[in-house]
Amino acid sequence: MTRPYLIIPQLIEQPTWGGRYILELKGWSENSTNGNKIGQSYELTKTTQLSVNIKDSTDLNFSQNSEGIPIQDVLHEGEKMPLLIKINQARGNSFQLHIKPETPSERWLPKPESWYFLENGYISLGLRDGINIGEYKNTCEEINIFMHGLSGKIVSNELDLGEARKQAHIFVSNKNPWQYVNLFETKKNDLIDLSMGALHHSWEENTALCPLGNIVYEVQLDASDDEATIRAFDQGKIKDDGTIRDMNIEDYFENLDTDPAHNNIEHVRRVQNGDELLRTKFYSVDIIHVSNDEKLMTCGHFSHLYVHDGDVNITAGGTTIRVTKGHSCFIPSSVEKYEISSNTANSVILKTFVSD
């Protein structure tokens, strides 16, 4: 428990978005995934597996799942793993929000989350000034009714899937729900903090501005979509079996923060302050530039280290592991101190830990 561990990431296929970016980031571009698109890589979660025998991330294999031990095995008794950290290659996400952490709800859990862009992106975020909320809600409801009608016709073999998708595209384009929300281009290294909840957000699709989709390093409290994600519009998507995703339009508008000051992107944009990249009451992220040996203390908290750039050695308790770009390691809270040294001219690490 007093040593660092390489994390075995969990790769998540996403057939309607995703791609090869995550595999190439990790140096796995030559490995076969049967042509399937990878949309997410879970870098830390309560089900994370830690590698015991492998001490060099270049020896990890994307299909490897038998070398690890559960992360629970290295946590102190009573210590919890509340975080979900993931890399996303995403586009065309639903219009959604999460409730404010202080909001009492029998149906929904809060899911504070923050985005650090690894490449340029394109998002919708917050409401446009001066919109009519009633018109916005009616638009979402009309689209939902139309989509349910299409889905029913597909399932009953009255309508071909391809034709239904064409009709959905035309109807949604004419209704244009994007007219009610802010659309922004984001730049590499932009940091958006949605940990306060109740704000509309979505990763949008724009092949001209961001052909790879939105490449995002995301930190959040771990809560499932069924428990925490409130959706109002799903981009007119129809699944291959003809079904559509359930919307929660009433709950979306009930919890939507309409304060114009809060819907401004500057309200949620964060700027680096020294080594401090992000501070919330749930989690914190530091950015560490490693040119010389760095000696760090855990201060009784576990740490997640993601190598944003470069190649580093991390030593604690007599064990050294090598972590290359795109890979992560876990430092248990039982480790009092650890050392980081760079194998390149300058390495950059994102260090995430639970806030006090």
User: CATH code at 332?
Assistant: 2.60.120.10
215 and 338 fall within a common domain: no
For residue 187, pLDDT beyond 70:
yes
Q: Are residues 218 and 286 in the same domain?
A: no
Residues 208 and 330 in one domain: no
The total of structural domains in the chain comes to 2
* SS3 assignment, position 225: helix
Is 206 in the same domain as 338? no
**Is 232 contained in some domain?**
no
Residue with tokens 């001490």: 55
Are 107 and 30 part of one and the same domain?
Answer: yes
Mean pLDDT of the chain: 94
Q: Does residue 40 lie within any of the structural domains?
A: yes
Does residue 287 lie within any of the structural domains?
yes
Q: Confirm if 6 and 60 have CB atoms less than 8 A apart.
A: yes
pLDDT value at residue 285: 97
Residue 142, in any domain of the structure: no
- Whether 172 is in a domain gets the answer no
291/198 same-domain check: no
Does residue 65 share a domain with residue 205?
Answer: yes
Token couple for 272: 């680096």
pLDDT given at position 68: 87
The range of the structural domain enclosing residue 42 comes to 5-125+181-223
pLDDT digits (tens, 9 = 90+) for 308-353: 999 999 999 999 999 999 999 999 999 989 999 999 988 999 999 9
Q: What is the distance between the alpha carbons of residues 11 and 31, in angstroms, rounded to a whole number? A: 13
* Contact present, 42 and 218 (Cβ < 8 Å): no
Q: Is residue 295 part of a domain?
A: yes
**pLDDT classification of 300: cutoffs 50, 70, 90:** confident
In a domain, 311, yes or no: yes
Strands (E), 120-190: 121-127, 181-186
Q: Are 5 and 51 contacting, i.e. CB atoms less than 8 angstroms apart?
A: yes
100 plus 190 within the same structural domain: yes
The answer to whether position 195 is within a domain reads yes
Interatomic CA distance for residues 193 and 158, integer angstroms:
45
Are residues 9 and 27 in contact, defined by beta-carbon separation less than 8 angstroms?
Answer: no
User: How far apart (Å, rounded) are the C-alpha atoms in residues 148 and 158?
Assistant: 13
What separation, in Å, do the N-terminal and C-terminal C-alpha atoms of the chain show?
22
